[in-house]
Amino acid sequence: MIICSCNVIRDCDIRAAAARGCTDARSAYASMGCEFECGGCQELADDIVEQVLSNPPEIDQRAA
């Protein structure tokens, strides 16, 4: 789903940025070479990053 229509950023793009270590929407956008334009997406984008950071993927210990 498109979260930011100004930069055409999808929720999966924000989730991937958070999984790579971005801690907020601003850093996630910056990692994609973007910045906020109108700002209408910032709250939702921050919520997505927070969701990813609060639910890290489980690591399969058998594969480690």
CATH of the domain at 28: 1.10.10.1100
Q: What is the per-residue pLDDT for 56?
A: 73
33, part of any domain: yes
Question: What's the CA gap between 55 and 26, in Å, rounded?
Answer: 20
pLDDT digits (tens, 9 = 90+) for 18-59: 999 999 999 999 999 999 999 999 999 999 999 999 997 676
60, part of any domain: no
62, part of any domain: no
Q: What is the per-residue pLDDT for 27?
A: 98
Q: What is the per-residue pLDDT for 60?
A: 66
47, part of any domain: yes
43, part of any domain: yes
What's the pLDDT band for 62 if we cut at 50, 70, 90? confident
Domain holding 13, by residue range, is 2-54
Helices within the chain (DSSP H only): 11-19, 25-31, 42-54
Q: What is the per-residue pLDDT for 63?
A: 60
